[in-house]
Structure 1
């Protein structure tokens, strides 16, 4: 979001929150998109983290002597 803030000429979250007060469609869309993006990112990171944890929690297979 740092690069987006620079390109947009300001903080995207602040612009979205200010626009929501005036019921700006673009601001509502921006805030909704930011929220949905955050939820999807959290779900993907949780899934990736739990898959790695599950794989490391399994005991190593024993090798035949």
Structure 2
């Protein structure tokens, strides 16, 4: 049986300069496709201003993840 992997890239863009100077940024990302929760999602957080990866983790059996930057 052929196992198909799908790669979905989601970019969160912060367009306000208020976030640039913030001490901490917290949000929750929910992953849903066709009204069904997606589990086992690999999440990578990149800092585009410094061009490096900040954090990588997997949601495992959950369809959401809490991101604290």
Q: TM range, normalised to the smaller chain?
A: under 0.3
If asked which structure has higher relative contact order (CA below 8 Å, sep 6+), I would say 2
TM-score with structure 1 setting the length: 0.21
Greater helix fraction, Structure 1 or Structure 2: 1
Larger radius of gyration: 1
Greater strand fraction, Structure 1 or Structure 2: 2
